[in-house]
């Protein structure tokens, strides 16, 4: 066995691509990152360029491999792939060129179409089959929009000349030189086209959205033979791609939440809370999603999920949109410089409200502004809004699952903000466990590939990698916690009632 043998994990996200290299002991040995531009051609529209996704992936790969260093080239035993979900691409099978910009999960252009389908009474049946809400967030109406609005695409799709995929399928296609058009069950479960109980594309939903079957990728388990690298600049041909999962399911796996009761929240551009529910899907009555997750060896299992559309993006907005912050890290210092938010509450519904409200037409408000409001109050209110939205999800999960939640495991870039983590623990009244390696999305992808390669047997084999982190224990009195949360609920109700801000 080579001592310079590694698993590569490709984590393609909304704002950038990260590549991590892990050794056989699960130690992180190298990292590469490349920022991905987002494009906003109209209000409510969010796009990526498929070629830019690929180029940033290549750049991150080159950076990671270069940082491994040494006189001898490293041997890559396998690749694991994880990705932003729901983002929709269509490309030409012959040229591997996208036919249109990728429509990002945050994009709201199909809100009217979703509303029309709800009025037509289609939501209940769609939810029963897919576990999802009828919302622009998911892939089906995005794909339908491309088929209807990009010239010539519908005819080419019917002739079998085109391929659809979420970002995992796009990268797999490019990594294998166009040899493999596939996805895994976790990503398929985010499209509004996949029956999560029988785990196959649903013919009635394909007819509803006008999607030819020939467009769709083959669905495989998260640990599978997804093909071999071919023609990738900087990588030798023949590296097996053995693991694949959507980013939030990969993070759940990487956190070791592989059995019923495991709960994690990823704090990134948005926030994504998943509660593992085991071998049977649990329908939600509280506006959550039922989705496919992974068991201890990557086998299909189920989870409840709640999504916050604007998490860390609220801090980015303070920095880039308002110029209140010079850096995202400065938000923690500013928040700690004041004893509270000065009576202000931000409801950052910049792209609508996700679970448990599902109001795509909602737009943000800032309540309680006075002449005494300072930049520090605004920074603190923005951080608090992330924790308030996450508590909304935890409350919904408690109602649906009837499970007593004892701990929340956290990851993602914003999880490094100690003020936010302490406030989250205070607001929930339970400990928050942050692992030593917060990039558990990429770790999950590496684990899946490593199990596929025979390096490890199950997710728990690398428990020590997640250790040596920090636990944030609640310190706030219950009365204060509930008073603050009531203020949040009042602000949301004001927004939803259409009251002026």
In this structure, what are the phi and psi dihedrals at residue 181, rounded to the nearest 5 degrees?
Answer: -115, 95
Q: Of 216, 245, 274, which residue constitutes the final position of a domain?
A: 245
Q: Do both 75 and 192 map to the same domain?
A: yes
The verdict on residue 456 lying in a domain is no
In this structure, what are the phi and psi dihedrals at residue 353, rounded to the nearest 5 degrees?
Answer: -105, 130
3-state secondary structure of 73: coil
The verdict on residue 461 lying in a domain is no
E strand map for 44-154: 47-48, 75-83, 89-92, 102-103
Q: Do both 486 and 375 map to the same domain?
A: yes
- Which residues form the domain of 494? 256-434+469-501
Name residue, tokens 């603050």. Answer: 484
Q: Do both 208 and 351 map to the same domain?
A: no
Which residues have CB under 8 Å from 337's CB, separation 6+? 376
87 and 140 Cβ atoms separated by less than 8 Å = no
The verdict on residue 88 lying in a domain is yes
Token pair for 28: 């992180």
The verdict on residue 450 lying in a domain is no
Q: How many domains does the chain have?
A: 2
Q: Do both 136 and 269 map to the same domain?
A: no
pLDDT tens for the 501 residues of the chain, in order: 445 699 999 999 988 999 999 998 888 899 999 999 999 999 889 999 999 999 999 999 999 998 887 545 678 999 999 999 999 999 999 999 999 999 999 898 999 999 999 999 999 999 999 999 898 989 999 999 999 999 999 999 999 999 999 999 999 999 999 999 999 999 999 999 999 999 999 999 999 999 999 999 999 999 999 999 999 988 999 999 999 999 999 999 999 888 888 899 999 888 989 999 988 899 888 889 999 999 988 899 999 999 888 999 899 999 999 999 988 899 999 999 999 999 999 999 988 888 888 887 889 999 999 999 999 999 999 999 999 999 999 999 988 887 778 899 999 889 999 999 999 999 999 999 998 887 889 999 999 999 999 998 877 666 655 556 899 999 999 999 999 999 999 999 999 887 444
In angstroms, the Cα distances linking 290 to 165, 234, 305 are 21, 39, 6
Q: Could you give the count of Cα atoms lying within 13 Å of 223 in the half-sphere of its Cβ?
A: 24
243 and 449 Cβ atoms separated by less than 8 Å = yes
The verdict on residue 13 lying in a domain is yes
Distance CA 417, CA 413 (A): 8
Q: In terms of Cα–Cα distance, which of 205, 219, 83 is closest to 132?
A: 205
Q: Of 205, 220, 245, which residue constitutes the final position of a domain?
A: 245
Residue 319 is given by DSSP the state I
Token pair for 114: 């979703």
Q: Do both 261 and 208 map to the same domain?
A: no
Q: Do both 116 and 233 map to the same domain?
A: yes
Angle at CA 469, nearest 5°, toward 394 and 77? 100
Q: Do both 388 and 282 map to the same domain?
A: yes
Distance CA 49, CA 89 (A): 9
Neighbours of 463 (CB within 10 A): 11
Q: Do both 49 and 179 map to the same domain?
A: yes
**Residues linked to residue 162 through DSSP beta bridges, in sequence order:** 92
The verdict on residue 464 lying in a domain is no
Q: In terms of Cα–Cα distance, which of 9, 5, 6 is closest to 446?
A: 9
Q: Do both 329 and 204 map to the same domain?
A: no
The H or E element containing residue 481 is helix 478-496
8 and 19 Cβ atoms separated by less than 8 Å = yes
Distance CA 364, CA 385 (A): 11
Q: Do both 395 and 476 map to the same domain?
A: yes
Token pair for 384: 């608090």
The verdict on residue 446 lying in a domain is no
In this structure, what are the phi and psi dihedrals at residue 194, rounded to the nearest 5 degrees?
Answer: -120, 125
CATH number for 377: 3.30.420.40
Q: In terms of Cα–Cα distance, which of 242, 228, 88 is closest to 170?
A: 88
Q: Do both 226 and 326 map to the same domain?
A: no
The verdict on residue 251 lying in a domain is no
Q: Do both 292 and 214 map to the same domain?
A: no
**Residues linked to residue 220 through DSSP beta bridges, in sequence order:** 184
Q: Of 226, 245, 264, which residue constitutes the final position of a domain?
A: 245
Neighbours of 451 (CB within 10 A): 24
Residues present in the chain in total: 501
């Amino acid at each position: 066995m080579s001592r310079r043998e590694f698993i590569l994990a490709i984590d393609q996200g909304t704002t950038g691509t990260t590549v991590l290299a892990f050794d056989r002991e699960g130690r992180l040995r190298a990292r590469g990152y490349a920022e991905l531009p987002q494009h906003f051609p109209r209000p409510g529209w969010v796009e990526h360029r498929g070629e830019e996704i690929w180029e940033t992936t290549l750049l991150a790969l080159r950076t990671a491999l270069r940082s491994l260093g040494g006189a001898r080239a490293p041997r890559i035993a396998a690749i694991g792939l994880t990705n932003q979900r729901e983002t929709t691409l269509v490309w030409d099978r012959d040229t591997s060129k996208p036919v249109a910009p990728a429509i990002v999960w945050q994009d709201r252009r199909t809100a009217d179409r979703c509303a029309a389908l709800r009025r037509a009474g289609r939501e209940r049946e769609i939810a029963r089959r897919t576990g999802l809400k009828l919302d622009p967030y998911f892939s089906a109406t995005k794909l339908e929009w491309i088929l209807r609005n990009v010239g010539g695409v519908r005819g080419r799709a019917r002739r079998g000349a085109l391929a659809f995929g979420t970002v995992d399928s796009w990268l797999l296609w490019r990594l294998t030189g166009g040899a493999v058009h596939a996805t895994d069950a976790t990503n398929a479960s985010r499209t509004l086209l996949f029956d999560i109980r029988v785990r196959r594309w649903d013919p009635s939903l394909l007819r509803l959205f006008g999607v030819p079957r020939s467009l769709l990728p083959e669905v495989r388990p998260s640990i599978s033979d997804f093909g071999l690298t071919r023609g990738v600049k900087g990588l030798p041909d023949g590296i097996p791609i053995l693991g694949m999962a959507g980013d939030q399911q990969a993070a759940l796996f990487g956190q070791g939440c592989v059995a019923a009761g495991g709960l994690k929240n990823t704090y990134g551009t948005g926030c994504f809370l998943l509660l593992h529910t085991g071998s049977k899907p649990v329908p939600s009555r509280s506006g959550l999603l039922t989705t496919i997750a992974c068991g201890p060896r990557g086998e299909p299992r189920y989870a409840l999920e709640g999504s916050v559309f604007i998490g860390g993006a609220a801090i980015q907005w303070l920095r880039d949109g308002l110029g209140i912050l010079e850096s995202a890290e400065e938000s923690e210092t500013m928040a700690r410089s004041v004893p509270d938010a000065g009576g202000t509450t931000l409801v950052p519904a910049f792209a609508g409200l996700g679970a448990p409200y599902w109001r795509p037409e909602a737009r943000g408000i800032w309540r309680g502004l006075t002449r005494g409001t300072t930049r520090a109050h605004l920074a603190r209110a923005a951080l608090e809004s992330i924790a308030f939205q996450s508590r909304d999800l935890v409350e919904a999960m408690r109602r649906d699952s009837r499970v007593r939640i004892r701990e929340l495991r956290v990851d993602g870039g914003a999880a490094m903000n100690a003020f936010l983590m302490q406030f989250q623990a205070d607001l929930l009244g339970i400990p928050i466990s942050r692992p030593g390696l917060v990039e558990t999305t990429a770790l999950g992808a590496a684990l899946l590939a490593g199990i596929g390669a025979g390096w490890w047997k199950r997710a728990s084999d690398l428990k020590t990698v997640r250790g040596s982190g920090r636990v944030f224990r609640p310190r706030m009195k219950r009365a204060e916690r509930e008073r603050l949360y009531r203020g949040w609920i009042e602000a949301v109700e004001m927004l939803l009632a259409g009251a002026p801000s």
